[in-house]
Chains A and B, each alone.
Chain A
Amino acid sequence: MKSNSNSNDDIKAIKSMMERSSRFLSLSGLSGISAGIIALIGAAIAHHLLESVKTDDPGLLYFLRPFPFGEIIMPLVILAFSVLVLALASAIFFSWRKARKQNLSLWVPATKRLLTHLFIPLIAGGFFVLILIDQNAEILVASATLIFYGLALINAGKFTFGEVHYLGVSEIVLGIAAGIFVNYGLLFWAIGFGVLHIVYGFVMYFRYER
């Protein structure tokens, strides 16, 4: 007959194997930290670009109203795109490093599910932001990006560390605040994509990787 402690070990082994195989556990805290730092650098550059065309002095990390499109729109778009690519690349790099350390491949069944659940709200958000710009409502862009990003994280959180869920909730709260204080879009962006990622990264790094 099977002994009690044996059954207990079996259950533990089953649980850990289900967990290990259904979640993407290679996401590294360092990914969050590096993505956050890149976002902060991007926000600083954006701030300088906005400074260069400002007429009066509305303070730190503002969004100008009316938005000074025209001359600096292209540099801003290029900047935003580079920040996105660099942040993604660094996130993938650190995850790849962690996966190698764990002797797992980066592409496990959970990876596909994580990405699908992350990108559906994200792409919807991308289109919505384009609509906002088309409707001359660019003051709501910061709010919309943060809210959709938060929703995407909550959706994807089921397939990786549970803490991602709380990062998502924080982004949504911040996004709503950004919709109320529309003049501080860049500031909310810097907090949401920069500071929150860095805080999250440190928490994860010390919790799981030390």
Chain B
Amino acid sequence: MKGIISNLHKVFESRIRLGIMSVLVVNDWVDFNTLKQFLDTTDGNLASHLKALEAKQLVEMKKQFVGRKPKTSYQASEAGRNLFAQHIEALESLISKK
């Protein structure tokens, strides 16, 4: 039981972060506005969660210019994918425990 709990990572505790990771593991680069649409959240909220995930190197960010507009895209890093997979596994084994 202890092993399972330690695999539940604090960094994924918020719904928005779970959402971000869910989108990023099944897609390649996803830009900020698309993420915002999927998660139905505000710019500030999404940006702060992305920043937190980026600080832990779970997501990677790139900036491009489309015409004159900057476009920021994100993808899940290798470490992020692994950690998120562990997290899902832990969630699933918690459910099946009962």
Q: Which chain A residues have a beta carbon within 8 Å of chain B's beta carbons?
A: 1-2, 4, 7-8, 10-11, 13-15, 17-18, 20-22, 103-105, 108-110
User: Is the C-beta of B48 less than 8 angstroms from some C-beta in chain A?
Assistant: no
Q: Can you offer 16 A-B residue contacts whose CB atoms are under 8 A? A: A4-B94, A4-B97, A7-B95, A11-B88, A11-B91, A11-B92, A11-B95, A14-B22, A17-B18, A18-B25, A18-B26, A21-B22, A21-B26, A22-B26, A108-B37, A110-B27
Q: Indicate the size class of the contact surface on chain B.
A: 20 to 34
Contact yes or no, A108 B34, CB < 8 A? yes
The smallest beta-carbon distance between B20 and chain A, in angstroms, is 9
Contact of A103 among B5, B27, B37 (CB under 8 A): B37
User: Is the C-beta of B65 less than 8 angstroms from some C-beta in chain A?
Assistant: no
B residues 52-67 near A (Cβ < 8 Å) are: none
Contacts of A10 in B (CB 8 A): 18, 91
B residues 1-27 near A (Cβ < 8 Å) are: 5, 8, 15, 18-19, 21-23, 25-27
Contacts of B28 in A (CB 8 A): 109
Contacts of A2 in B (CB 8 A): 8, 94
Q: Which chain B residues have a beta carbon within 8 Å of chain A's beta carbons?
A: 5, 8, 15, 18-19, 21-23, 25-28, 30, 34, 37-40, 88, 91-92, 94-95, 97-98
The smallest beta-carbon distance between B36 and chain A, in angstroms, is 11
Contacts of A21 in B (CB 8 A): 22-23, 26-27, 30, 38
The smallest beta-carbon distance between A103 and chain B, in angstroms, is 7
Contacts of B30 in A (CB 8 A): 21, 109
Contact of A14 among B34, B39, B88 (CB under 8 A): B88
Residue from B40, B91, B92, B97 with most neighbouring chain A CB atoms (10 Å): B91
